[in-house]
Structure 1
Amino acid sequence: MSPPARTDLDELRARLDRVDAELVALAAQRQEIVSTIGRLKQGVGRQVRDFRRERQVLDHVRRRAGETGLDPDLAEDLLKRLIDASLARQEQERGQRSARGRGQQALVIGGAGRLGGWLADFLDNQGFNVRLADPVLADEPDQGRYRDWRSAPSSLDLTVIACPIAASAEIIEALAERRQAGLVLEVASVKSGLIDTLRRAAANGLNICALHPMFGPDTRLLAGRNVLLMDVGCAGAVQAARALFDDTMAELHEVDIEHHDRLMALVLGLSHALNIAFFSALAESGLPAAELNAAASTTFARQLAVARNVAAENPNLYFEIQSLNRHGQWSRQLLADAIASLSSAVDESRPEAFVEAMVKGRRYLEELG
């Protein structure tokens, strides 16, 4: 068979370009319709997300794809991406329309950091007049930027402490000493060294709540994302913190602050340690990452993707999460024991022990559905 003529190939590529342009235009049109739907939902007090409707849309798209000869999985994947973008847009616009923070003053201490920056944008979207304080910033009071948070105006409705864990206690104490008005949120990943300071500050009149967003600063859509709230002696502060997320789809959970770090030793500490051990072992193997990736199985590719994300994170923050959590050694010992048990079962040719470990893990995870 002779190759297609150049003019035929050019025409086909031109047609493909036109189809791609139409797809983009239709996606933009869909987003405009989504915005209108979001305004109507908010007007009648309905939630942003309707799982039943989403399932109907995806089922319809799969049927339509089958009728047209398109892979139904591809069609569903495309629509899921569009639905996520739609939800993110509705969530953002709902926050803007609520104007919860309109006319209110907020200060984010540690605002030049990644999480601090996310929180600043989150509050700005709700109408707060947001100022940032961070040692890496140049003093520009007219731009709301301060190197030292003490230089910022003290007349605030909301203060967020999003600085390194080790510095948080001193800031909380200073805020309590100057009887800072308004709501104060502390967002450290580890609470062990802050519990007494937080409770003492609350007892002295500081309207403070401990909060922990369980997602990274690249997050756009809060649907399915967890936010942990901890009462340190100010029930009203917890309710005020909860209200900040009323117009989002975040999952809010109140936890005992004494229990928080035991949870984090597994949720953060163990998962971080596992991935650091994984990519450290690969680095010591002597085999290039590209060679391993070229031979990757489905499981390896998924694990590698998670490990790459962990490797790109702030190593100093990750060290603090390991070292400052009083339950950290416990979680790392669990990991070491599990690896030792696995190695023993294989090295000693005890398949029954290996199978038992997998069955035990499967049963443990079954409650997730």
Structure 2
Amino acid sequence: MHRRRGEDPHRGNLPPAPRNAICRLCQSRVRDRRRRPAAGNEAVVRLHAGGARGTRGTNRCGLAQRANAGSNNLEAPERGSGVLVTTGDPHLSPPQPPFPELSTLRSELARLDESILGLVAQRQAIASEIGRIKAREGRSTRDFGQEKEVIGRVRRVATGLDLDPNFAERLALLLIRASLTVQEQDRVLASTKGEGRKVLIIGGAGKMGRWFARFLHSQGFTVEIADPAGPVGEFPHLNDWRTSALEHDILIVAAPLRQSAAILEELAARKPSGVVFDVGSLKTPLRPGLTKLFEAGVLVTSVHPMFGPDTDLLSGRHVIFVDVGVPEATRRARDLFSSTMAVQVEMDLDAHDRTVAYILGLSHAVNIAFLAALADSGEQAERLKQLSSTTFDAQLEVARRVASENPHLYFEIQSLNEYGASALNGLMSAVQQVRSAVQRGDEAEFTALMRRGADYVANVQPR
């Protein structure tokens, strides 16, 4: 942020100090020092450090900063000498902060922070009421035109207040996201589609299983968890799903991929009457089980939520539905997300895994390889972080999130996808092209690689 003319560069954009109060403090302490007997060695009156430009060695009151014991003469210290250490005078008061106005200003900041949070709470309450009106009138929760208008207004106001409009836009987007989250959650809670209906989540103690349990419970479904890992909250629990009569309206398989494949085949033999779907990241390993369910006449489909279990707002998030020959089952699964702002996409099974090989497989591999290369480099992570660039920081943050995920799940995504090898081969080929161009000193080839990538994403708008 640019500094206004005449500002003290060491004080940033703080408001003017309460001059009179500081002057009284300085003068009273000097008078107190003069009344005391000499201590025989140098003592210090701790006054706030030098003031405005052009008053070297003095504070804002015009008083010099050092007092010699036994003398009423005040001397100006060297520039930057700071506060001298007190010695030998038991009558001196305890050291005081050099800037007594700091505590006042910090208290004011705390008061402003409380006021800002109070205004945010009021905004959330209004957003919730707007959401109820939208739901009553059958309007969509998200209005991109209104969001654009809000952001434009915020940028104009920020400019008038001499604030960075980009900062104001980021703040507005946070507020919009918070409002949408409240409105979406209210709409899901208002949904009564689950009343009187039961759901069994096999593998419900896992992260995505827990997400579906909360999500469907909020719609009024009676949720039951089947997982040997133990119960989840207050939901009814079974250690083994096989002991259930399977008299549920919906059965969700949320186990790891290999286990899900076996469970789907076992369910086909039981022929449950409810809708059955998995939530696996891959579909080709589940093909045999899904086919057997279809052949058994079960209402079966397949779902892939393209978000993690910590997601609280589905606006802009994708949920993929893979129809395996039973459109009614797919329709019912899609209806579970009708009260949200999730983007629903239908794909066939093979197209799904070909795409996921790049969306998940390639992106995971890049970040795993990035961290592996750093770990083998001999450089300390903390030192690299201290000297990092914007690009490195962004890449490191993404890689850190990938590394914190379940490695067993990520290995399944790499190893069980029938189309996964093409993405990994493409990655190895691209790295080799970069390496070859650098080793041969071929700037034209290196430039062409970068431009080809830039052209590929030229029309992709950031979220």
Match status 1:212 vs 2:283: no
Q: How far does residue 138 in structure 1 lie from its aligned partner after superposition?
A: 5.4
Mapping 1:178-217, distance limit 5 Å: 178-217=270-309
Q: Structure 2: which 5+ residue stretches go unaligned?
A: 1-50, 52-58, 61-96
Q: Which residue of 2 aligns with 1:82?
A: 175
Q: How far does residue 308 in structure 1 lie from its aligned partner after superposition?
A: 0.3
Q: How far does residue 40 in structure 1 lie from its aligned partner after superposition?
A: 0.2
Q: Which residue of 1 aligns with 2:444?
A: 352
CA distance in 2, matches of 1:154, 1:82: 43
Q: How far does residue 6 in structure 1 lie from its aligned partner after superposition?
A: 5.4
CA distance in 2, matches of 1:363, 1:66: 34
Mapping 1:309-328, distance limit 5 Å: 309-328=401-420
CA distance in 1, matches of 2:232, 2:317: 34
Q: How far does residue 270 in structure 1 lie from its aligned partner after superposition?
A: 0.7
Match status 1:137 vs 2:233: no
Q: Which residue of 2 aligns with 1:242?
A: 334
Q: 1:138 to 1:118 in 2, by over 3 A?
A: closer
Q: How far does residue 12 in structure 1 lie from its aligned partner after superposition?
A: 1.6
Identity in percent: 45
Q: 1:57 to 1:192 in 2, by over 3 A?
A: same
Contact 1:108 1:116 in 2 (8 A): yes
Contact 2:154 2:168 in 1 (8 A): yes
State the secondary structure of the residue aligned to 1:185.
strand
State the secondary structure of the residue aligned to 2:154.
helix
Contact 1:103 1:128 in 2 (8 A): yes
- Displacement over 6 Å in runs of 4+: none
Q: Which residue of 2 aligns with 1:103?
A: 196
Which whole-Å deviations, capped at 9, do the CAs of 1:302-352 have from their partners, x for residues lacking one?
111100000000000001111111112221111011101110011011111
Q: Structure 1: which 5+ residue stretches go unaligned?
A: none
State the secondary structure of the residue aligned to 1:193.
helix
Contact 1:229 1:252 in 2 (8 A): yes
One of 242, 251, 266 as aligned partner of 2:358? 266
One of 107, 111, 114 as aligned partner of 1:14? 107
State the secondary structure of the residue aligned to 2:319.
strand
Q: Which residue of 1 aligns with 2:320?
A: 228
Higher helix share: 1
State the secondary structure of the residue aligned to 1:252.
strand
TM-score of the pair, normalised by structure 2 = 0.77
One of 116, 127, 148 as aligned partner of 1:23? 116
Number of residues of Structure 1 aligned to a counterpart in Structure 2: 368
State the secondary structure of the residue aligned to 2:230.
coil
Mapping 1:45-64, distance limit 5 Å: 45-64=138-157
Q: How far does residue 124 in structure 1 lie from its aligned partner after superposition?
A: 1.1
Q: 1:347 to 1:7 in 2, by over 3 A?
A: closer
Contact 1:139 1:146 in 2 (8 A): no
Q: How far does residue 139 in structure 1 lie from its aligned partner after superposition?
A: 10
Amino acid at match of 2:146: R
Q: How far does residue 247 in structure 1 lie from its aligned partner after superposition?
A: 0.9
Q: Which residue of 2 aligns with 1:91?
A: 184
CA distance in 2, matches of 1:247, 1:138: 28
Q: CA RMSD in A?
A: 1.7
